[in-house]
Amino acid sequence: MTDAPMTSRIHPLDSFFAPSSIAIIGASRDALKIPGLLLTFLRRNGFPGWIYPVNPNYPNIDGLACYPSVADIKQPIDLAIVIIPARAVLNALRECAAVGVKNAIIISSGFAEEGGDSATMQDAIADLARTTGMRISGPNAEGFYNELGQVAATFSPTVDVKPDAPRLLATQRRIGIVAQSGGIGFAIYNRARALGIALSYVVSAGNEADLGAGAFFDYMVRDASTDVILLFLEGIRDTDTFLAAAERAAETGKPVIVVKVGRSGAGGRAAASHTASMAGWSAAYDAVFARYGFIVSNDLDEAVTIAAVLTASPLPKGDRVAVVTVSGGGGIWGADVVSSQGLRVPELSPPTQAAIRDMIPSYGSPRNPIDITAQAVHSGGLQKTIELLAQGDEVDAVLVVLSLSNETRIPFKIDALKPLIDARHKPIVFYTYTLPSHFARTELAKAGVVVLSGLSHVGVAMRCAVERARFRLAAPPDDGATKRLDLTRYLNSDKLSEHDSKCLLAAAGVSLPNEILVSHREGLNEAIARVGLPLAMKIQSADISHKSEVGGVHLNIASEQEAVQGYDDLLTRTNARRPDATVQGVLLTPMAKPGVEIIVGTMQDATFGAMIMVGFGGVTTELFKDVIYRPAPVGADEAMTMLNELKAAPLLHGFRGTPKADVGALATLIAQISQLAARDRDAIAEIEINPVLVHPEGEGTTIVDALVVPIAKERL
């Protein structure tokens, strides 16, 4: 080869994913071991650039000159693949940096995953990347595969090219895969490839000493050849990069499917509020995914099916599905599955049914599901029915349920089906209830059809496509929702009472009832007169988070005599049940008008920072856990979206004749609390207002109880 190929550089990682030259440090002549497989797979996949094996033990490998060190190559190197013992890796990387190698992949293991000195070696690799600017993937990585560029920089057998097995390719749109597990990432590629889904890239992040999943995700978002992104995540380290990429994907409309593992892990959080105790380990991740419209899947085959539907079909314009089948039972089953996902299977109009009736036997059914029968397959009724539905406006997607097991025939004419698929009027999804033959897959792939064989996964994928089509990125929040203030005077203790918490919220501009703290019995009568009757009385102590558990609340006090007696009872009962608690006094507050009970809370997540939560509140909050989280801050529009996602949302919108609640005022309150939590995340660990009573439309909200938990002083 005389000239290295030229590529356009528009992203900092272009030279990583599309290198003109690759050095394999630790290359081997043994094609059955990892160092040998790296060279073998690069060559079998037709890598168009220069390959430089590096190993002082060989003068050449497989016809290529082999160099004692990377410094001996004397040519520009875009990418070094390092597969040598862990303790030799750092020096090899230093040599790479010294001669200007732009990127490196460390396949070698034995670093942070082992702890101790091995973790220290990984820290040194991270320092080297920061000081030299060389970008490093790994250690303990499985590399990457660039299908379009023919770069198989991995030892995964899934990229092995077999001449007698040509690539099945059904889609023109391509998926990019970013995985924090190399084995799973290439497994996703393996399964997608078997269905005929085209690939742009699959990359394994390894231990992420330098390059993390967020950086690779950003590359896929910006890459014009990647149409759908599939992420397999354990935990995000390069958070800011990840979030910026997520926002860019949402803004540009590039779908992202995510499989998040590690959901069963304990949070390790000492929670003072309901908000944090209900969160669970993955609540913050789910909140981020929801904000940016990620499609969440917890099953590998399901995720690949979703990718198949998104790459093979346009997004639907609505949720109406026509089910077309050659088997009555199969059609009913298909209709049941999509209906169970919340999609509609509507009755077709009389003219459409009449048109279908003319194309099928008398014992078929033109209703929805549409049973054309096996006989209509031979007469062309199946394809004509699909064409009619695809070109009409009565449904938004078509699910075709049939058998594709035949090794010599398929029930379609490819030259007629392909233009229909290419026109992309609406999603046309093909499910076979028998195992598909290789012949059927191959022939239908020529028309751009991906054959699917898991009906429940198909139903989920069709729902996800509808939801993705409806998704809109929320407008950024109003920066002035709460007052900017120094909170030091309100956070002079590790624990705050309800009264102290409400003073902080009031100072931040949050609307609160007219309440008075009575610390001495002598001030009780004046306080009663100022607050008015009827009123509520609550014991106040930073040591008592849940006042009802110590009998520290009296409600509906209608007379001054009841108030005086109630004051004495609260102090006596609290002193008896919690003699250790420091009591501030008794808080007098007007009895609130009836309303829907809501909880609004915040917490600080170690990865993503401030989170806002909303749910149905009161004493049953932790019992039902009907709550929604988002990263803070949110605007009023995003807060409204959160409210509508609650299972019990109808209670806010006039359920069974009840007045509609003032959801506008509630959304504004949620936005205020979220901005306070985000802006003062270094001082406030948690905020919880529970319950908030949401009154009828136009009458606002009332904060009944509140708790603010400061960041512990030892953490400041």
Q: Are residues 558 and 686 in the same domain?
A: no
The pLDDT-based confidence of 6 (bands split at 50, 70, 90) is very low
Is 50 exceeded by the pLDDT of residue 5?
no
Q: Residue 656: what pLDDT?
A: 85
Q: d(Cα 664, Cα 677) in Å, to the nearest integer?
A: 20
SS3 484: coil
pLDDT greater at residue 271 or residue 335: 335
Q: Residue 155: what pLDDT?
A: 97
At 239-262, the pLDDT tens digits run 999 999 999 999 999 999 999 988
Number of structural domains found in the chain: 5
The pLDDT-based confidence of 704 (bands split at 50, 70, 90) is very high
Q: Are residues 184 and 138 in the same domain?
A: no
At 633-684, the pLDDT tens digits run 999 999 999 999 999 999 999 988 889 999 999 999 999 999 999 999 999 9
The pLDDT-based confidence of 182 (bands split at 50, 70, 90) is confident
Residue from 566, 560, 547 nearest 705 by CA: 547
Q: Are residues 3 and 16 in the same domain?
A: yes
CATH number at residue 691: 3.30.470.20
The answer to whether the CB of 198 falls within 8 A of the CB of 169 is yes
Alpha-helix residue ranges (DSSP H) falling in 546-662:
560-577, 621-624, 636-645
The last residue of one of the domains, among 470, 502, 524, is 470
Q: Are residues 378 and 413 in the same domain?
A: yes
The last residue of one of the domains, among 261, 296, 312, is 312
* Mean pLDDT computed over 330-345: 97
The tokens for 641 are 């979206």
Alpha-helix residue ranges (DSSP H) falling in 99-147:
117-132
At 194-247, the pLDDT tens digits run 999 999 999 999 999 999 999 999 999 999 999 999 999 999 999 999 999 999
Contacts of 368 (CB under 8 A, 6+ apart): 322, 323, 335, 345, 346, 347, 348, 395
Q: Are residues 583 and 611 in the same domain?
A: no
169 within a domain of the structure (yes/no): yes
Q: Are residues 644 and 575 in the same domain?
A: no
pLDDT greater at residue 255 or residue 167: 255
Average pLDDT, the chain: 92
The pLDDT-based confidence of 625 (bands split at 50, 70, 90) is confident
Q: Are residues 318 and 466 in the same domain?
A: yes
The pLDDT-based confidence of 281 (bands split at 50, 70, 90) is low
Is 60 exceeded by the pLDDT of residue 425?
yes
Q: Residue 622: what pLDDT?
A: 67
Q: Are residues 335 and 297 in the same domain?
A: no
The pLDDT-based confidence of 7 (bands split at 50, 70, 90) is very low
What percentage of the chain carries pLDDT values higher than 70?
A: 94
Q: Are residues 567 and 455 in the same domain?
A: no
At 8-60, the pLDDT tens digits run 458 999 999 999 999 999 999 999 999 999 999 999 999 999 999 999 999 99
Is 50 exceeded by the pLDDT of residue 687?
yes
Report the relative pairing of strands 103-106 and 143-146 from DSSP bridges: unpaired
Q: Are residues 137 and 61 in the same domain?
A: yes
Q: Which amino acid is at 137?
A: S
Is 60 exceeded by the pLDDT of residue 164?
yes
Contacts of 262 (CB under 8 A, 6+ apart): 234, 235, 281, 282
